[in-house]
Amino acid sequence: MKLNICVVVVSDSIEGFGTDEDSLTRAIVMRAEIDLMKARGEYFNMYNTSMDNAIIGDVSGDYKDFLLTLLGSNI
């Protein structure tokens, strides 16, 4: 999966009502750490908000903590 496709999949997974948790998890888990760092920057450039904040605004609990840990978030 190319980097910008990953970014779009993350955005599409959390956009609108509800969350496509399978797609969101797959998009994040399948990326190497260095790719996730680049994807976070590209997400910000494309959507003018951080991927971390977008995830925080859409999911909660242990699932949110799991995703943020994979992203290397300091939030």
Q: Give the separation between CA 49 and CA 61, rounded to whole angstroms.
A: 21
pLDDT in tens, the chain (75 residues): 577 888 999 999 999 888 999 999 999 998 888 889 999 999 999 999 999 999 999 999 999 999 999 998 887
Q: In the chain, what are the domain boundaries?
A: 3-71
- Domain covering 3-71 in this structure, CATH number: 1.10.220.10
**On the CB side of 58, how many CA atoms lie within 13 Å of its CA?**
21
Q: What's the CA dihedral at 45, 51, 71, 17 to 10 degrees?
A: -150
Tokens coding 57: 């605004």
Report pTM: 0.83
